[in-house]
Structure 1
Amino acid sequence: MLKKFSRIVLAGLFLGAGLFTRTGQTHAAEEQDLAPQAVSAVLMDAGTGKVLFAKNPHQPLPPASITKLMTMLLVVEAIDQGKISLKDPVRVSEHAASMGGTQIFLEPGEQMSVHDMLKGVAIASANDASVALAEFIGGTETNFVRMMNQRALQLGMKNTQFQNANGLPANNHYSSAYDIALLSREILKYPLITKFTGIYQDYLRQGSKKPFWLVNTNKLVRYYQGVDGLKTGYTSEAKFCLAATAKRNGMRLVSVVMGEPDAKTRNAEVAGMFDYAFNQYVSHPLYKQGDVIAVKKIDKGDPRTLVIKAKRPISILMKKGEDPNSYQKKWMWRSLQAPIKQGQVLGKMQLVKDGRPVQELELVSSVEIRRASWWTSVKQVLGEVLHLPEQLQETE
């Protein structure tokens, strides 16, 4: 009977908690302009969020088609939440078909799958497909834009305001290089996006009378090792913009430039930013997906113990030649007592070097912790008498 009872108690101990990384905006010590022709630029490590280089990072500027990153993020989040599927047909409205600029020439009344629409946006920067997807998810583009701005606030994009789903010129439509880096980092959680943005050329409407050839507007996908996205942008007001990502040896970078004079300069400066980071830094694995990060008892909680696991691989960004053992872990817990809401911040784990915090992992509950009843509390005490496995000892 005691063995059976022990299993019941332990089953409640492996409820996980969500993990989000959070770091301060730390610039590289070197005083050098890696993007001299850009009005604004940011180079960020996607794994930690650490800023390696910044130039006017918070200056509000027209983002042009980089806007479509937010449109694509809301699409993949709707897919992830089961609200829509890649197979769903999207009907093209008169409004969507009327978009100018880059497009896949959708016709009013035409139907195309979410999959193909998203591909058209990701590869060819299709303005018409962006609006069609916006209307499909939001009902109207106006309502979808409200969703875009709400999501921007949630991501901490403090210098961003959207007016449309595709980035065509509009009053009070702006963002910043730092905000776009935050957005890029968020969208990289969804491999479907880089699966599309990493394609150099493809076709839509294959097998039909009107096949459409897609060519990626981001030429670095073809010419720079490791680049698999994300989004270009150009209008006469915004000039040449690019939010790019590259991955080598387990380290993924995000580079954003805005207001470049031409496409050649834009690509060269982004490539130079990537070269700098790959030459100077290395990513050291800290936790594999599923690894236990921390264990915490919740006073009067049901369950009483939370096991916090890494939802994705987590690494330390270090200068080449640094010793990983020079970093120490420090847990900082809030005062925790049941009940605890799903999404509540429990505390954070700091990585400390030379007495200075250099990286933080925010620990967030992914489950609701109820206040334990009298009988549950008794069972918890008995469970402790039976002793927890060593790997479930509380993290200080």
Structure 2
Amino acid sequence: MRSRIMLSVLMVALLFMGMMPRAFAEERELAPQARSAVLMDADTGTILYEKNGREKLPPASITKIMTMLLVLEALDQGKIKYDDLVRVSEHAAQMGGSQIYLEPGERMSVRDLLKAVAVASANDASVALAEHVSGTDEAFVNEMNQRAQALGMRDTQFRNVNGLPEEGHFTTAHDIAIMSRELLKHPEITNFTRIYEDYLRQGTTKPFWLVNTNRLVKFYPGVDGLKTGYTSEAKFCLSASAKKGTFRVIAVVMGEPNAKTRNHEVSRMLDFAYSQYTNRLIYRKDDPIAERRVEKGDPGRILIKAPYPLSILMKKGDKPQQYQRRIVWNDLQAPVAKGQKIGEIQIIKDGRIVSRMALNSPLAIRRAGLWATWKRVSKSVLWIPEKASSSSTD
């Protein structure tokens, strides 16, 4: 009798397993060899798959995603320029591991150094860029940690700019996805990370051949970044970005046993994302959203544009009508600081916010003086509509 009961229970369990949705069954097997993994929609930050995503692990050269982010932000702020010639210090030239064999006193442009980091994972180029941005690589590391905290990367601590093994240097697959998403808000970075092979020092006696350590940029359609990593402690790591149409995803794996398995499991994660999900673009970068009046401001009105693309992530089969868009504005009164949050776009489904985009002031707005206020009031009082004399009400 007991054996019959056991057999019945087993048959029911097998039947249940057979009826399990295929997408869920596949999701469990996406990255079986990885120590941890995360699959994220780049536009909304939605996690599509996660395995031990919060486990603190050594990231190896994936560290350089934060290095590249700070360099791109320094370029945007005008602190440095692509054509700046960076003088290589003895310290930078002494870095081991992956390198382009910079020599002390050699000069190389920010553009070429960034290419060396993005394509060849050059440790010496990373330090040279850090010193150019912040004066010393120690100061740059402090900025890396500050930026990580600002992004909500709670389980990350950087000790160096290139990911060489060091006690207390760790992050998680989840935090890597966050900083990868932030880096991709600077779309020009993929002009570097998607290069498969190129040269540095062309036209000299020491040309250097670069080959991308991320082979998927050549062998998986749509992959255009971002960064590999390997040390004996970290094993094989990768943060890969891929884009099909307007749908971009980020796949992160850490602790893979070898490069072949790493690439295979990342490919499975990307295949899963594109087979199960799609997106609908709401705003492109710099699309106008609204013009806002600034109380007592000079200027009195500002045009708000989308700071980066915003889309709706949809399970295949969902309908766009299931989603609503809402804009929530803060009270806007001068003075207003550049970058100050003034509102938020929310995408809502079934009463729940599924995506949001902060709207910030594109410029600093001072409080209007008496003369500016008088001119504004006079203009509003004396202004006569062009069709004021017409009786038409169209």
TM-score with structure 2 setting the length:
0.84
1:383 aligns with 2:374: no
Alpha-carbon offset, residue 378 of structure 1: 7.7
| Separation in 1, partners of 2:293, 2:176 | 38
Partner of 1:351: 347
2:99 to 94, 98, 103: 103
**Residue-by-residue CA offset, 1:318-375 (whole Å, 9 max, x unaligned):** 1222221221122333344433332222232211122222111222222334444566
Gaps of 5+ in 1: 1-28, 389-396
CA 1:326–1:377: 2 relative to 1, 3 Å: farther
Counterpart position of 2:148: 152
Q: Aligned partners of 2:188 and 2:367: how far apart in 1?
A: 40
Q: Rg bigger for which structure?
A: 2
Aligned match for 2:86, one of 84, 90, 94: 90
Tell me the equivalent position of 1:238. Answer: 234
Say whether the 8 Å CA contact 1:47–1:315 is kept in structure 2.
yes
Deviation per residue, 1:29-76 (Å, 9 max, x gap): 947332222121111111222221122222221110011111122222
Match of 1:256 in 2: 252
**Cα shift readout 1:305-329 (whole Å, capped 9, x = no counterpart):** 4432223432211122222122112
Distance 1:299 1:258, change over 3 A: same
Unaligned runs of 5+ in 2: 1-22, 386-394
Matched residue, 1:126: 122
Offset from partner CA, 1:160-213 (integer Å, 9 cap, x none): 111111100001111111211111112113333211111111122222222222
- In 1, the alpha carbon distance for the partners of 2:177 and 2:374 equals 46
From 57, 75, 83, give the equivalent of 2:71: 75
Determine the C-alpha separation between the residues in 1 that align with 2:349 and 2:103. 58
Aligned to 2:315: 319
Equivalent in the alignment of 2:207: 211
Please identify, of 239-248 and 362-371, the stretch whose mean Cα deviation from structure 2 is larger.
362-371
Does the 8 Å CA contact 2:304/2:362 hold for their aligned counterparts?
Answer: no
Cα distance 1:179–1:387, how it changes in 2: closer, same or farther (>3 A)? farther
> 1:190 aligns to what?
186
Label 1:133 to 1:339 Cα distance change in 2 as closer, same or farther (>3 A).
closer
Contact 2:62–2:237 (CA under 8 A) maintained in structure 1? yes
> C-alpha displacement at 1:100, in angstroms?
1.3
More displaced, 50-59 or 216-225? 50-59
Give, in whole Å, the separation in 2 of the partners of 1:40 and 1:251. 24
Does residue 35 in structure 1 map to residue 31 in structure 2?
A: yes
Moved more, 176-185 or 78-87: 78-87
Q: Distance in 1 between matches of 2:115 and 2:286?
A: 31
CA distance in 2, matches of 1:60, 1:129: 26
2:170 to 153, 164, 174: 174
Q: Percent identity?
A: 60
Q: Report the CA distance between 1:92 and its aligned residue.
A: 2.0
Aligned partner of residue 360 in structure 1, secondary structure: strand
Match of 1:318, SS state, is strand
Matched position secondary structure for 1:164: coil
Paired amino acid for 1:261: P
Q: Is the 8 A contact 1:304 1:380 kept in 2?
A: no
Kept after mapping to 1: 8 A contact 2:310/2:357: no
What is the alpha-carbon distance in structure 2 between the residues aligned to residue 224 and residue 109 of structure 1? 39
Q: CA deviation at 1:152?
A: 1.7
Instruction: Decide which moves more: 212-221 or 74-83.
Output: 74-83
Give the aligned length: 361
What amino acid is the match of 1:323?
K
Moved more, 335-344 or 162-171: 335-344
Q: CA RMSD, aligned part only?
A: 2.5
Are the aligned partners of 2:176 and 2:239 in contact in 1 as well (CA < 8 Å)?
A: yes
The whole-number CA distance in structure 2 between the counterparts of 1:242 and 1:290 is: 30
1:78-131, CA deviations, whole angstroms, 9 ceiling, x for partnerless residues? 222222222222222222121111111222222222222221111111111111
Report which stretch shifted further, 132-141 or 59-68.
132-141
| Shift in Å, 1:233 | 0.3
| Compared CA separation, residues 75 and 315, structure 1 to 2 (3 A) | same
Amino acid in the other structure paired with 2:230: Y
Q: Take 1:145 and 1:193, find their aligned partners in 2: how far apart are those partners?
A: 20
Task: Write the distance in 2 (CA, Å) between the matches of 1:286 and 1:37.
Answer: 37
* 2:309 is the alignment partner of 1:329: no
Counterpart of 1:23?
Answer: none
Paired with 2:246 and 2:231, the residues of 1 have a C-alpha distance of 34
1:380, distance to aligned residue in structure 2 (A): 4.9
Report if the CA contact (8 A) 2:306-2:359 is conserved: no
Confirm or deny: 8 A CA contact 1:326 1:353 kept in the other structure.
yes
One-letter code of the match for 2:190?
Answer: T
Equivalent residue for 1:143? 139
C-alpha spacing 1:70/1:381, structure 2 compared with 1 (3 Å):
same
Relative contact order, CA 8 A, sep 6+: which one is greater? 1
Letter in 2 for 1:117: L
